[in-house]
Chains A and B, each alone.
Chain A
Amino acid sequence: MSESLKIAVKNLNVFYGKKQALFDINLNIFSNEVTSLIGPSGCGKSTLIKCFNRMNDLVEICKYDGEVLIDGKNINDTSTDPVSLRTRVGMVFQKPNPFPKSVYDNIAYGPKLHGMYKNKDDLDEIVVSSLQKAGLFNEVKDRLFEPGTGLSGGQQQRLCIARALAVNPEIILMDEPCSALDPIATAKIEELIEELKEKYTIVIVTHSMQQAARVSNRTAYMHMGELVETGLTKNIFSNPEHAKTQDYITGRIG
C-alpha cells in the first residue's frame, strides 16, 4: 500500500443556513485506496463527500470553512475553479442518472465538453475503454446507440461510472452507489470498485456495513455531523475504539 496522502480535510465546518451539518472534520484519504464513510442517516456522510468536488456550491444556503486539500492544494480557495476541479474528482450518485442520450453519447459527453480527444476514432476509443473499465462493454456493445435509460438499473449505474471515468479523474466519489440496486448488480459494482482502486482513489458512502467491510481499505464512522472514528477497515470492524462505533456496527443504533 502506497500510503500517499491524496485528500486531507482540516477543520472543516459546513452549515446549511443556520444549521451546522459538519463539525470540525479532520480526515485523511490515501491514494489508490477505497475509503468508506459509514454512519446513520443524516450524519453528514454525503455532505462530506460533496465537499471534495464542491457540489455543495450548488446549494445556495450552504456555507463552509476549513480546508480540503487535494494533493496539498486547498480546493476551497477562491483560486480553485470548481468546474475544472470536478473533472479531477468524478462523482457517482445514489440513483443511477444517465443522461437522456444514447449509451455512446453518455460517455462521450464529458470528453466532448472538455475537448479531450483529437478525432472521432480517438473519441470512440475513449468510449470503448471507459465502458471496458466499468465492465459494461460486453453487455452493451451492440446497443451503444440506444438510449442509456433503457439499460437495467445496475447497468445504468455502471454506465454512470464509465461516464465518470471517461474524463480521466484522479478521485471517484460514490454516494451510496448500490442503494438502488439488487444484490447481483451490487456485487458487480463492488468487483468493479476493487479493480478501479488500482488506478483511482475512491471514496464511497454506504449504508451497508458489509459493503464497507468488503470493499474498503479504510473506514470512517460519522455520527451527527462529527467524525467519530477512522482507521483501517479491519480494525474498525473488529476492534472499534469508540463506543458509538461499536454500537453502530453491531446494529444497536442506526
Chain B
Amino acid sequence: MSNIIQRNKSEKRFQFYGLLAVGLAIFLLLILLFKIFSTGFSAFNQTYLGVKIQIEKGENLAELDARSTLRKNLRNMFPEAQSRSDKKNLYSLFSPGAYIEFEEMLKAYDGDVIDGYYYFLASDDLDMYFKGTVTRQGNSAGRIKPSQMKFVDEFVKMNLIELQFNRYLLGSADSRNPEMAGILGAIYGSLFAILIAFVTSFPLGVLTAIYLEKLTKQNAFSDLIETNINNLAAVPSIVFGLLGLAIFLNFFELPRSASLVGGLTLGLMTLPTIVIASRSAIKSVPPSIEEASIGLGSSKVQTIFNFTLPLAMPGILTGTIIGIARAIGETAPLLMIGMVAFIVDIPQGPLDASTALPVQIFLWQDSPERAFVERTSAAIIVLLIFLFLLNITAVYLRKKLEKKW
C-alpha cells in the first residue's frame, strides 16, 4: 500500500520537475524576446523635423542646390540664429540625409512653387532625445548641447517634430550615421549566402547520403567516412571560416567579403548536418516499398529516385532547413572571410562585397553611438523573423510532402 503512495508521489514529483524546467525555459525566452522587442521596436520609427520651405516661381527646382536651399529656409525660420556657431548648431539638428531627401523631393516635385511645411530626417542625437532614450538634464540631453536645445524647444513649441516610419532601416545599407543606417545590404548578403549555401550543400549532402546509405557496401572505408561526417558536424564554426579562408580566398582567389565565399563556407558547414539528416530519413523509408519497386523490375537508381527520395524528402528538408537556419545565424566563419567590413552599398550580386545579418548585428553592437543600440535590437528582430519564416517553411514543406503509407 505504501509502495503505491510512494510511487504516485515520485511520479507527481517528476512531473513537477518537468513542468518547472519547461516553465523556466519559456520564462527566460520571454524575457529575452521582451528585451529585444522593447529595445528594438523604437528603431522602426524615426524623428523628423518640419521645415517651412518657400521657393518662388521662376526657380528651376531640379537645379537648385539642396543643401544651401534647405539651410536658407531654415535660417528664415530662425532669424535669431546669426552667429556661425548658432547656425552650425541649428544645421546639426538635421541628418546629412535631410539634404538628400530634400534633393530627391526637388527632383520629383511637380509644379513650380513650393510653399509649406516639409519634414526632413533629424540627427541621431535628436532622435534619441525625442524618443526618450536619452533623458533631459537641464538644457542638455545626451549629446544635445544647451545651444542646440533652444532650437529643439522651438521645434517642439511649433509642433514641427514628429516620428515617421523609418524607411532607412529596411531600405538602405550600413552607414556611419545611425539614423541613415539600414540592414538591406546585410539582408541581401544573407540571402545570397544562404541561397549559395543551399544550392551547394543540398545536392552534395543528399547525394552523399544516398551513396552511403544505398549504393556502397558496408566496410571499414564507409565506417571511416561515417565517423568523420559525424565528427565534422561538431567542428566549431570558426574552423570552417578558416577553411573557407584557406580554400576559397587564398587558393581559388575569390573576391574577399563576397557573399559567394560566405555562402560556400556556410555550405561546407551545413553539409554534415544535411548528410546526417538525409541518411536517417532515407533509412526510415519502409523497405517494403523499395522491395515492391525492385520486384516490379525497377533498377536500384529508379527505385531511389521514384520512391526512396520522395518518401525521405520531408525528413531531408527538415534537416536541411535546420542546418540552413543555423547557417543564417552564424557569424564566426563570416568574420574569417572578410564579410565583416563596413559596406555602404547594397550588394547587387554574390560577387559584391557585403555583410550578413548576424555580422551587421555584431558590427552595430560595437558602435559607440547611442542610436545603434536600438538598431542592433531591430536587426535582431529582423533576423528572428527570418528564422521564424524559415521554420514555418520547414513545417509547411513537411506537411505538404508527407504521405502516409
- Interface residues of chain A, those whose CB is within 8 Å of chain B, are 53, 55, 58, 60, 83-87, 90-91, 93, 95, 97-100, 109-110, 113-114, 147, 149, 160, 163-164, 167
Contact = CB atoms under 8 A, between A and B. Distances in A.
A164 B295 contact: yes
A163 B218 CA distance: 33
Given A99-B307, A100-B404, A93 B293 contact: no
B302 interface: yes
Contacts of A90: 295-296
A95 B405 contact: no
Contact of B294 (A58, A100, A149, A167): A58
Contact of B295 (A91, A100, A114): A91
Max chain B Cβ within 10 angstroms of own Cβ: one of A53, A98, A113: A113
A86 B291 contact: no
Contact of B292 (A60, A160, A167): A160
A113 B298 contact: yes
Interface string B120-156: 0000000000000000000000000000000000000
16 contacts: A55-B294, A55-B295, A83-B298, A83-B299, A86-B296, A86-B297, A90-B295, A90-B296, A93-B292, A98-B292, A98-B405, A99-B293, A109-B293, A113-B296, A113-B298, A147-B404
A20 B81 CA distance: 105
Contacts of B289: 97, 99-100
B298 to A, nearest CB: 6
A93 B296 contact: no
A53 B295 CA distance: 8
Nearest to A173: B295
A95 B293 contact: no
Contacts of B399: none
B400 interface: no
A18 to B, nearest CB: 16
Contact of B296 (A60, A95, A110): A110
> Which secondary structure dominates chain A's binding surface?
helix
Given A97-B289, A100-B289, A100-B405, A87 B294 contact: no
Nearest to B217: A60
Contacts of A97: 286, 288-289, 291-292
A113 B299 CA distance: 10
Max chain B Cβ within 10 angstroms of own Cβ: one of A53, A87, A95, A97: A97
B291 A87 contact: no
Contacts of B306: 109
B405 A149 contact: yes
Contacts of A113: 296-298, 302
A60 B297 contact: no
A37 to B, nearest CB: 17
B176 interface: no
B403 interface: yes
Contact of A149 (B298, B302, B404): B404
Nearest to A114: B297
Contacts of B217: 60
A53 B298 CA distance: 13
B187 interface: no
A164 B296 contact: yes
Contacts of A167: 296-297
A122 B67 CA distance: 79
Contacts of A114: 297
Given A60-B217, A90-B295, A113-B296, A95 B403 contact: no
A59 to B, nearest CB: 11
Contacts of B161: none
B98 interface: no
B311 interface: yes
Nearest to A96: B288
A86 B295 contact: yes
Interface in B241-282: none
Contacts of B296: 86-87, 90, 109-110, 113, 163-164, 167
Contacts of B404: 100, 147, 149
B292 A100 contact: no
A167 B292 CA distance: 13
A93 B291 CA distance: 9
A167 B297 CA distance: 9
Contacts of B291: 55, 58, 93, 97
